[in-house]
């Protein structure tokens, strides 16, 4: 519901020049009130810095930020200061009705993309913000504005072509952002598992147990493990146990057989084989070198 302090912008105000799209490039100021609208708005920060008031949120904005604003979300941009001497906050706006996306589904050619975008564009409970790192979105806004303000023959089709490119570019940005977030979450969970393995390497730790801690399949866990460590789980565990055995050889008087058991190697022959392969000498030779150098 729109409060008495929020203006509602209707479609009739914007779709006179073109029947399906409105595009502008505006300098934001403190005179524009908080407003709501019945259409979808894509807003791109072209210059300057400031703040975007969206519902109950206040988001700092800067060049390259793109906002997806569904119908029903009150918002307004504000520059950093009311001073005219400061750098202006310039924003591109592209607005269109919710029905437009579905009307272009044959042109887009992928119903999954259309459904994904429709959910993002029409969810009045939230907004989305993205960053245009390679200026693809800015270039499309610039082309849209030029064609919108200086129409030529075939402008409607040309604008639709640019708009479909904008839809697909937004989709790619959103998917990239989602994958990056999943990757960051995956990395955080994985490092938590490595810390766990560091503390429990002497136990009978299995790849199945660690995969369960991450809520992943063993296959996915093995792939992520190799990607992050450059080793298989078994080789990593062997190296970890040998590293810990080297610490005990340096800092304790324990027998080699006791050290092997202490780090989780139940088979002394396998321990000796792994130690020589990884360290390049036997545990006895390693301990002698350490003692001789003290």
Strand 35-37 to strand 7-9: parallel, antiparallel, or no bridges (unpaired)?
parallel
Residues 121 and 232 in one domain: no
Residues 177 and 205 in one domain: no
Residues 33 and 118 in one domain: yes
The overall average pLDDT reported for the chain is 88
Supply the pLDDT for residue 184.
Answer: 63
Domain count, the chain: 2
Instruction: Give the domain CATH number at 281.
Output: 1.10.10.60
Whole-angstrom distance, CA of residue 104 vs CA of residue 93: 20
Taking a C-beta distance cutoff of 8 angstroms, is the pair 282, 276 a contact? yes
Local confidence band at 4 (pLDDT 50, 70, 90 cut-offs): very low
What mean pLDDT comes out for the span 62-87?
88
Whole-angstrom distance, CA of residue 103 vs CA of residue 214: 42
Supply the pLDDT for residue 108.
Answer: 86
In this predicted structure, the answer to whether residue 204 has a pLDDT above a threshold of 60 is yes
For 27-41, the pLDDT digits (tens) are 998 888 888 888 999
Whole-angstrom distance, CA of residue 61 vs CA of residue 52: 6
Range of the domain at 97: 7-181
Residues 40 and 108 in one domain: yes
Supply the pLDDT for residue 269.
Answer: 94
DSSP SS3 for 203: coil
Supply the pLDDT for residue 163.
Answer: 94
25-34, 77-86, 151-160, range with the lowest pLDDT = 77-86
4-18, 36-50, 145-159, 270-284, range with the lowest pLDDT = 4-18
Taking a C-beta distance cutoff of 8 angstroms, is the pair 25, 40 a contact? no
Instruction: Give the domain CATH number at 158.
Output: 2.60.120.280
The H or E element containing residue 140 is helix 136-149
Structure tokens at 252: 């304790």
In a domain, 192, yes or no: no
Residues 137 and 92 in one domain: yes
Local confidence band at 75 (pLDDT 50, 70, 90 cut-offs): very high
Residues 123 and 222 in one domain: no
Residues 142 and 214 in one domain: no
Residues 159 and 34 in one domain: yes
In a domain, 186, yes or no: no
Global confidence as pTM: 0.63
Supply the pLDDT for residue 154.
Answer: 93
Residues 118 and 227 in one domain: no
Supply the pLDDT for residue 23.
Answer: 96
What mean pLDDT comes out for the span 45-59?
92
Whole-angstrom distance, CA of residue 115 vs CA of residue 101: 9
Sequence-separated (6 or more) residues with CB below 8 Å from residue 254: 248, 262
């Amino acid at each position: 519901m729109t409060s008495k302090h929020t203006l509602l912008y209707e479609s009739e105000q914007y779709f006179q020049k073109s029947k399906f799209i409105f595009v502008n490039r505006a300098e934001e100021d403190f005179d524009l009130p908080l407003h709501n609208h019945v259409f979808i708005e894509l807003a791109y920060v072209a210059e300057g810095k400031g703040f975007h008031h969206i519902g109950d949120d206040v988001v700092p904005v800067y060049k390259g930020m793109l906002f997806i604003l569904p119908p029903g979300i009150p918002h307004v941009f504000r520059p950093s200061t009311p001073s005219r001497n400061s750098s202006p906050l310039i924003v591109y706006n592209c607005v269109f009705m919710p029905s437009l996306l579905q009307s272009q589904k044959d042109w887009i050619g992928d119903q999954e993309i259309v459904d994904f975008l429709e959910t993002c564009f029409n969810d009045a409970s939230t907004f989305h913000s993205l960053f245009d790192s390679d200026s693809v979105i800015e270039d499309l806004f610039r082309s849209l504005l030029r064609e919108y303000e200086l129409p030529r023959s075939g402008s409607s089709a040309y604008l639709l072509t640019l708009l479909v490119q904008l839809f697909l570019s937004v989709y790619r940005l959103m998917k990239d952002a989602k994958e990056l977030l999943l990757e960051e979450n995956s990395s955080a969970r994985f490092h938590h598992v490595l810390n766990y393995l560091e503390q429990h390497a002497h136990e009978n730790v299995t790849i199945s147990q660690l995969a369960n801690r991450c809520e992943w399949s063993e296959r996915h866990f093995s792939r992520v493990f190799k990607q992050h460590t450059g080793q298989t789980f078994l080789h990593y565990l062997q190296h970890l146990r040998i590293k810990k055995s080297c610490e005990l050889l340096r800092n304790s008087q324990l027998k080699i057989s006791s050290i092997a058991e202490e780090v989780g190697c139940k088979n002394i022959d396998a321990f000796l084989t792994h130690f020589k392969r990884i360290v390049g000498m036997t545990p006895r030779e390693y301990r002698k070198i350490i003692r001789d150098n003290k």
